[in-house]
């Protein structure tokens, strides 16, 4: 990983001010061009180091969201996960070693739209969803300083 890629991963984990030109702002801080920042992020994404570049909003400040669990037969797990991943509001999709073995977070613009998406997922997969909306908010800072050799 080159120096720019390391700085992109480490320096912008949090506290990036809202801006119509975030990549240009990052470039200015790093002393490089906006194109270099975009290229570096693209490379990190293509290598699978970064899965998503974008803002994280506090829950229920913009739209609706829920943690969702499903019981999926092992033979269908990969296919069902791919179906669910196709929905633009789905993130944090992962397998767990439990009867409820597929978990994901889904977001939508309204609670009604969220419920409609869950119903659509149930119809498409033929499987029930268990929606577990957040009742209390806890802030967990997932940013951490990266160490490089």
Q: What is the tens place of the pLDDT at every residue in 108-148?
A: 999 999 999 999 999 999 999 999 988 777 766 667 778 77
Of residues 92, 98, 113, 139, which has the active-site annotation? 92
Which fold is adopted by the domain 64-132? Answer: Alpha-Beta Plaits (3.30.70)
One DSSP character per residue, the chain reads --HHHHHHHHHTSS-PPP-S-HHHHHHHHHTS-HHHHHHHHHHHHHTTS-S--S--PPTTSSSEEEEEEE---GGGHHHHHHHHHTSTTEEEEEE-SSSS-EEEEEEESSHHHHHHHHHHHHHHHS---EEE--SS-------------
Q: Which residues contact 2 (CB under 8 A, 6 or more apart)?
A: 40
Q: Which residues pair with 69 in a beta bridge?
A: 103, 130
Taking the model in full, what pTM does it have? 0.64
Mean of the per-residue pLDDT values of the chain: 89
Percent of the chain with pLDDT over 70: 93
pLDDT band, very low/low/confident/very high, at 18 (cuts 50, 70, 90)? confident
What per-residue confidence (pLDDT) applies to 58?
A: 64
pLDDT digits (tens, 9 = 90+) for 43-73: 999 998 887 787 766 666 678 889 999 999 9
What per-residue confidence (pLDDT) applies to 56?
A: 67
- Average pLDDT over every residue of 71-85: 95
Respond yes or no: is residue 139 known to be catalytic.
Answer: no
What per-residue confidence (pLDDT) applies to 60?
A: 64
What per-residue confidence (pLDDT) applies to 15?
A: 81
């Amino acid at each position: 990983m080159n120096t720019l890629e390391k700085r992109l991963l480490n320096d912008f984990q949090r506290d990036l001010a809202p801006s119509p030109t975030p990549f240009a702002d990052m470039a200015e801080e790093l002393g490089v061009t906006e194109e270099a920042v975009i290229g570096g992020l693209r490379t990190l994404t293509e290598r699978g180091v970064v899965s998503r570049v974008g803002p994280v909003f506090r829950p229920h400040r913009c739209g609706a969201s829920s943690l969702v669990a499903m019981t999926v037969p092992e033979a269908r797990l990969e296919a069902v996960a791919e179906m669910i991943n196709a929905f633009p509001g789905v993130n944090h999709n992962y397998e767990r070693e439990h009867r409820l073995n597929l978990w994901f977070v889904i977001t939508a613009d309204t609670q009604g739209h969220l419920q409609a998406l869950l119903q659509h997922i149930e119809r498409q997969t033929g499987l029930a969803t268990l929606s577990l909306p957040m009742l209390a908010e806890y802030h967990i800072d997932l940013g951490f300083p990266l160490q490089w050799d």
